[in-house]
Chains A and B, each alone.
Chain A
Amino acid sequence: MATLSLQNLVKRYGKTEVLHGIDLEVADGEFIVFVGPSGCGKSTTLRMIAGLEDITSGSVQINGEVVNNLEPKHRNIAMVFQNYAIYPHMSVRKNIGFGLKTSKLPKLEKMKRIEEVATMLGMQDYLDRKPNELSGGQRQRVAIGRALVRNPSVFLFDEPLSNLDAQLRTQMRLEIKKLHQRVGNTIIFVTHDQVEAMTMADRIVIMKDGYIQQIATPDDAYHKPANEFVARFIGAPSMNMLAGKAMDSHIELWNGASIPCSKSNLGIDRNITIGIRPEDLHICTDNNPVLTGLVSVVEPLGSESLLYVDVNGTEIIASGPGRNAPLPNTQIDLTASVESFHIFDQETGESVV
């Protein structure tokens, strides 16, 4: 069990700065997920915590102790890699026990721990198999087992589910979450998949271009995005972004439509972007539509349909009924409540509401 603190963490490769001062406090037992597109610096941050990358400036503290100059083995961490990094020439037993190779525990105690971890992960019947005799999910379990057996202060996961198929990924996601609830260790999990981030994290750290965009609970990241990037990144399908201008008592959209809005802090004549989640944009049943457009594509999802609507040349995604959804090439009216609007400054991209 451990706390983790990153203070003004900077990473440079030659003259190129890839992390520009990361600050983060992780509480004991917290499940933190770093999420962001490729090249945002999430894996680099994780590798700096692990001690696999040098720290250019700033500090990493585990349990209040600065570990910048400590070797990875002295940080009491364990890491699960994207490609599992389990050794093909060793059996499952040896792979799980590999983390104890340098431990001074008696041999019997080591054996006991390996058995315990294997049982916890449902791998007790596979201990004598080689990795090439296991499925992808089982291999990932072995990798997690190798991390678990050392009982580290912090678990680091570097996109561990990326190599699994969709069904297995969902299953492993659940297993890792259950595991966290059982062992309660601090976990830092890196992913580029916002669904993984939303479903697993206590708090999400959303990153872009080496900067943290927002640190928030999944609920807050979804409902109160700090900026346009977070709003677009979190949620699938992505939030609709409409250009507009804040007026005195209404918002004027790019297509000339006017929506009554009396949010006081918008200012007058200010260029804004209005974000509306697809599920907040419905087919209008009264005579007061916000948008009108032509349905181009319908994606039925069973319980609902996603409607891709062309509104004055801009593609908008709206939510439609699961049954009897409008057909393509149908003109439809769409509406959304003003309360569901996310409003961002057009210049800075920051949330203004």
Chain B
Amino acid sequence: MQPGNSDAASSELAVKANSKALLEGSSARHERSLGQFIRWIVLFAGGVLMVMPLVYMLSTSFKFPFEVYNLNLIPEEPTLENYTYVLGDGRFMKWFINSLVIATLTTISNVLFDSLVGYTLCKFSFRGRYIVFIAILSTLMIPTEMLVIPWYLMSQQFGWLDTTWGIMFPGLMTAFGVFLMKQFFESVPDDFIEAARIDGLNELQIWWSVAMPLVKPALAALAIFVFLGNWTAFIWPLIVTNSQDMYTLPVGLTTFSVEQSVEWELIMTGAAISVLPTLIVFLVFQRFIIRGVVMAGLKG
């Protein structure tokens, strides 16, 4: 074969190879975009499933009673009457404040004491440390329903029935919080603690000014969990309270449902209002979580 022919043949081969690669490439891209499309569909469906109850709750809160059992999302005759009624009812504000006080105090207590115990279990060596940790963890296996009766009897003995303290005390510290904080404190290098010890800080100062700022993301996560848990708690507040004045929001909302009828539009209005603090808590603490992740990335 002449050299010129050889060049032409090789360039022809190269063109064929290129077009084959292009075809293969385009088919791979096609498969990728199909896969992505399916993923989007699944995610969209998931999103709709999550958002629908919220949208329905909001929609119902703007409906008149006759329209409640109509599943349309946009009310035919939108009204603010439900909001006027619920907010105008002194009981609702009382329950709202009860819930806010209880959830806030419980959150503060958990953030402080869970982290203090978690820090102690993580950073101090003492005999029986492991046993204490296991004992705390094992309480996670006991369901709340089993604890309700002993809690009730205890509250009765101490005179805590129908009091704010009575509602709060079982949740002031949680095994889950201790576990979460202990695990996060593991990531705080011992050198930080020892450096502060040499610099003259006492153990409480080290915990507060060195260790706690380093686990802010965990504290934020814990705060969100605890606040939401207490804000939505139902069984224990229902059992321990007798007077409507001491009800928390979830318990109070049930009074809108009586034997003869269930006033869904009022329940949904109350629920819509009660979602607001949880959203605020989440938005406030979420920033710490994101900032924590960024900080960890830079440290590495």
Q: What residues of chain A have their CB less than 8 Å away from a CB belonging to chain B?
A: 50-52, 71-73, 77-79, 81-83, 85, 87-89, 98-99, 101-103, 132, 146, 150
Contacts and interface: CB of A to CB of B under 8 A. Distances in A.
Given A88-B214, A89-B214, A132-B298, A82 B191 contact: yes
Contact of A85 (B192, B200, B209, B299): B192
21 contacts: A50-B198, A72-B198, A73-B199, A77-B198, A79-B198, A83-B191, A85-B192, A85-B195, A87-B192, A87-B213, A89-B213, A89-B214, A89-B216, A89-B295, A98-B199, A99-B200, A101-B199, A102-B200, A132-B295, A132-B299, A146-B195
Nearest to B298: A132
Nearest to B294: A132
A146 B194 contact: no
B58 interface: no
A83 B194 contact: no
Contacts of A103: 200
A132 B292 CA distance: 13
Contacts of A85: 189, 191-192, 194-195
B201 interface: yes
A335 B23 CA distance: 71
Contacts of B216: 89
Most chain B beta-carbon neighbours within 10 Å: one of A77, A88, A146, A150: A88
Among all A-B residue pairs, the 5 with the closest Cβ atoms: A73-B200, A102-B200, A132-B298, A85-B195, A85-B191
Most chain A beta-carbon neighbours within 10 Å: one of B189, B195, B295: B195
A178 to B, nearest CB: 24
A78 B198 contact: yes
A113 B191 CA distance: 24
B196 A98 contact: yes
Contacts of A98: 196, 199
Interface of B: 189, 191-192, 194-201, 205, 209-210, 213-214, 216, 295, 298-299
B199 A102 contact: yes
A73 B299 contact: no
A83 B209 CA distance: 19
Contacts of A82: 191
Given A87-B210, A88-B214, A89-B214, A73 B197 contact: yes
A258 B189 CA distance: 58
Most chain B beta-carbon neighbours within 10 Å: one of A51, A85, A101: A85
B106 to A, nearest CB: 26
A75 to B, nearest CB: 8
A52 B189 contact: no
Nearest to A80: B195
B199 A99 contact: yes
Nearest to B295: A88
A146 B191 contact: no
Contacts of B189: 83, 85
A27 to B, nearest CB: 23
Nearest to B213: A89
B191 A73 contact: no
B207 to A, nearest CB: 14
Contact of A101 (B192, B200, B214): B200
A170 B298 CA distance: 25
A98 B198 CA distance: 11
